[in-house]
Amino acid sequence: MSRARRRKSLLTLVAFDLNNFKQTNDRYGHSAGDLMLRAFARKLTNRRRGEDLVVRMGGDEFLLLLPECPPEQVPVLLERLRPCEVNFKGVRLLVEFSSGLATYDSAETAAQLLERADLALYADKRARKLQQQNQPIVA
């Protein structure tokens, strides 16, 4: 944030949350959940630029700090993270995620930036749940 303020450059924060993570842990056990976490972290780390920073916040939540990255470029990154899947004891598990981004405003604190990204994340999560509920049943 100091560098972005000093250079008057962009700083974009993307918050991630794995979808249906608790249900996967409940159904297949924590070994499956751990495998999903490692796969997503590996993919996120491998798809980032050298100056970007990947952080696991805890549980199934991750952050990606993108210095000098316009928010319009984030959808390209998100598509490079899909598809992500793991094979757990012969079962193919999709690692799906929701995300929210916020671009740093030099008048805000780190907590405010994180809160804005978190609000955007949960808006995306709600939208994805609604989308799933409205999917037609295919026989």
Domain range summary for the chain, segments of one domain joined by +:
2-127
Check residue 139 and give its pLDDT. 46
**The model's pTM:** 0.87
Please write the tens of the pLDDT for every residue from 27-74: 999 999 999 999 999 999 999 988 999 999 999 999 999 999 889 999
Residue 46 burial (CB count, 10 A):
10
CATH hierarchy code of domain 2-127: 3.30.70.270
Q: Tens digits of per-residue pLDDT, 74-104?
A: 999 999 999 899 999 999 999 999 999 999 9
* CB-neighbour burial class of residue 39 (10 A; exposed 0-12, middle 13-18, buried 19+): middle
> CA–CA separation, 23 vs 28, rounded Å?
8
